[in-house]
Structure 1
Amino acid sequence: MSTTPVKAQRDGQEPILRVKDLKKYFPRKTSGVIRRPDSPVQAVDGVSFELYPGETLGVVGESGCGKSTMGRTVLQLLEPTAGTIEFKGKDVTGAKGRELRRLRTEMQMVFQDPYGSLNPRQTVGSIVGAPFAIQGITPEGGVKKRVQELMERVGLNPEHYNRYPHEFSGGQRQRIGIARAVALQPDIIVCDEPVSALDVSIQAQVVNLLEDIQNEFGITYIFIAHDLSVVRHISDRVAVMYLGKIVELTDRDTLYADPQHPYTQALLSAVPLPDPRKENKRDRILLTGDLPSPINPPSGCVFHTRCPKYRTLTDTEKKRCVEEVPLPRETQAGHSVACHYAESTNLAIV
């Protein structure tokens, strides 16, 4: 397993990435091409975290919570609305032109759709070799030799260099995307649900490939996923997002053994246990209502409209949830929770 943040700090390493109060708002169209800047979609709303060299930060949450938008904004595939992005101690927020092109050699992405992210008119050789062409880099032995080495490294036949994406299976296409992402040996790769579109048997192969590549090249991952079991397997730390905010952030073992935010508890209660006896005895936490709109999120704590704990509070405590935004606070070392009344539970996922 890659270096944990605790070890990184103990060894005196600085974070490779610092994200502070990152926001991404989208202007909303009301009619035709007219946009209303006064009522934007608040896709990412004040996200902060640090990422250490060689670690994997898992990001989980419901569809529409802002996970993918956060990942794309960190890489500045989407321009941040506010906040700062520090990479290797340098503020790279709003990088343009030559600076942004240089960053592309150090920060890359593996996309969710293994077919939609590949140009159907280009051969695999052209797709995987594109980073070299764009950056004007000629690897030792030539581009073709290096591309075929990358194809072999990710489990593809180098002889298929001239084939097109439609001639490969979904799992193979995702391996093409991974080969393209690691071509220039970047420091950080954002994996945006890289296995969600694949069969379960293929998911394990792709996750193991990502781990092997991480160990070989020392790459740092932001791993976005729905599947909590996959996140638990690959991640060092896990961030739980809800409606554009990180509501809980800690190391994976602590999160799964002692979830403290009500939303995290509800997510983990939905994960089936392999032991039927334990599964039958466990209570499922059901969230009421639908995910609120990011155009008009609830006041105070954005989760209070669906929070099972909110319904058990006194009127004074409820008023605080409605009126006061809970700031992330450490309930124990390295365990950050954005909840006024966070407390331990016995919802351990074993």
Structure 2
Amino acid sequence: MVTTPDTTVVEEPRPSGPEGDALLEVSGLRKHFPVTRGAVVKRQVGAVKAVDGVDFTVRTGQTLGLVGESGCGKTTTGRMITRLLEPTDGRIVFQGRDITHVSQGAMRPLRRDIQMIFQDPYSSLNPRKTVGSIVGAPFHLQKVATEAGVKKAVQDLLDVVGLNPEHYNRYPHEFSGGQRQRIGIARTLALRPKLIVADEPVSALDVSIQAQVVNLLEDLQDEFDLTYVVIAHDLSVVRHISDQVGVMYLGKMVELGDNESLYSGPMHPYTVALLSAVPVPDPSVRGGRERIRLQGDVPSPLNPPPACRFHTRCWKAQEVCGQVEPPMVELRPGHQVACHFPENAPADAENRVAKAAGIA
């Protein structure tokens, strides 16, 4: 267990919904990066559809895990949620307020409530700054006072994330990768945010250190009533920490469901293929499991396949998959999938999808 630091932030009370209420609602979220041509007169000749219509809801105190191959749009989605990137289209609603296109000035106070843990602990910390300066920066930038001073607040935060408070005057190069990530987590916690977007928080760390950081994130969630959006490649990490899991492919959400339902009965062929590649420590289980190897490379987001974007690599694809985009349909309670021919689904699943797509 972690211990809440004695030093508390002195600030005006901020509204907080009851546990289980929707804290973050994302609908129709898109990010298209224009592709231009011409040295003098530039004209747009296309667009990289990094995220192309994503919908999900994250409830207070819960964790949403976003998984998928590199280039599927996970990180871009996370950066739009934190407004580090401007969305092309769609809506981002945080605590009932639409923050999709609020100005940077209006977003500034909201950054107390929405923070991000970055993927690379080596490049996310300024090598010229001490740990005390890095972790204490949010207090100065947001002009937030503390009861016992910023130094004491920073030392308490270092203690909370498992570092020695005496490290206050050290520099990032004096720490290991796992310790640097803990420094980044301490900085994220400084102003007691409500929502934290963790972008591949353990991918750059050794396996043993990964477990420590994941356990730390879980403890901090309980201690500070945090809500997470965790972006990861490793489905084992997502399974351990998430309440809800969203699977993305080429800018689209292809499956979204609660943790237990998705891992015990994945319905989208892409999810089935991803889970077949997850290492299993039990030899008896591993020996009887079939590994699904996807054919071909991930298509370019500059020119994605029509209709179902996965149909060019799917072993279940039929003609309709390349003609009609499958809608997200709830086939089990709290479990949605976008596939014309889902696996592990109810007997009438294909008819329900066809009806929703308007082809039944």
Q: What TM-score do you get using the length of structure 1 for normalisation?
A: 0.91
Corresponding residue for residue 274 of structure 2: 267
3-state SS, counterpart of residue 124 of structure 2: coil
Distance 1:183 1:238, change over 3 A: same
CA contact (8 A) 1:211 1:234 kept: yes
CA contact (8 A) 2:220 2:226 kept: yes
Corresponding residue for residue 95 of structure 1: 102
Structure 2 counterpart of 1:53, from 57, 60, 64: 60
Corresponding residue for residue 6 of structure 1: none
Q: What amino acid is aligned across from residue 319 of structure 1 in structure 2?
A: E
Distance 1:158 1:280, change over 3 A: same
CA contact (8 A) 2:35 2:44 kept: yes
User: How many angstroms does 1:84 deviate by?
Assistant: 0.4
Between the aligned partners of 2:246 and 2:150, the Cα distance in structure 1 is 38
Distance 1:32 1:169, change over 3 A: farther
Between the aligned partners of 1:49 and 1:260, the Cα distance in structure 2 is 18
Between the aligned partners of 2:321 and 2:198, the Cα distance in structure 1 is 34
Between the aligned partners of 2:43 and 2:99, the Cα distance in structure 1 is 28
Between the aligned partners of 1:42 and 1:118, the Cα distance in structure 2 is 30
CA contact (8 A) 1:125 1:144 kept: yes
Distance 1:160 1:12, change over 3 A: closer
Residue 329 (str. 1) matches residue 329 (str. 2): yes
Return 5+ residue gaps in structure 1 as ranges.
Answer: 1-10, 311-317, 346-350
User: How many angstroms does 1:36 deviate by?
Assistant: 4.8
Residue 203 (str. 1) matches residue 207 (str. 2): no
Q: What amino acid is aligned across from residue 164 of structure 2 in structure 1?
A: N
User: How many angstroms does 1:161 deviate by?
Assistant: 0.5
Residue 340 (str. 1) matches residue 340 (str. 2): yes
User: How many angstroms does 1:234 deviate by?
Assistant: 0.4
CA contact (8 A) 1:25 1:42 kept: yes
Corresponding residue for residue 157 of structure 2: 150
Structure 2 counterpart of 1:119, from 106, 113, 126: 126
User: How many angstroms does 1:98 deviate by?
Assistant: 2.6
User: How many angstroms does 1:115 deviate by?
Assistant: 1.3
Between the aligned partners of 1:20 and 1:201, the Cα distance in structure 2 is 37
Deviates more, 1:43-52 or 1:319-328: 319-328
1:175-324 equivalent positions in 2, closer than 5 A: 175-310=182-317, 318-324=318-324
Between the aligned partners of 2:40 and 2:279, the Cα distance in structure 1 is 46
Q: What TM-score do you get using the length of structure 2 for normalisation?
A: 0.88
Between the aligned partners of 2:302 and 2:232, the Cα distance in structure 1 is 24
Between the aligned partners of 1:29 and 1:121, the Cα distance in structure 2 is 37
Q: What amino acid is aligned across from residue 185 of structure 2 in structure 1?
A: I
User: How many angstroms does 1:278 deviate by?
Assistant: 2.2
Q: What amino acid is aligned across from residue 146 of structure 1 in structure 2?
A: A
Tell me how many residue pairs correspond in the alignment.
328
User: How many angstroms does 1:38 deviate by?
Assistant: 4.0
Corresponding residue for residue 129 of structure 1: 136
Corresponding residue for residue 22 of structure 1: 29
User: How many angstroms does 1:241 deviate by?
Assistant: 0.5
RMSD of Structure 2 on Structure 1 (CA): 1.5
3-state SS, counterpart of residue 146 of structure 2: coil
3-state SS, counterpart of residue 303 of structure 2: coil
Q: What amino acid is aligned across from residue 330 of structure 2 in structure 1?
A: E
Q: What amino acid is aligned across from residue 291 of structure 1 in structure 2?
A: V
Q: What amino acid is aligned across from residue 140 of structure 1 in structure 2?
A: E
CA contact (8 A) 2:19 2:61 kept: no
CA contact (8 A) 2:113 2:194 kept: yes
Between the aligned partners of 1:145 and 1:124, the Cα distance in structure 2 is 13
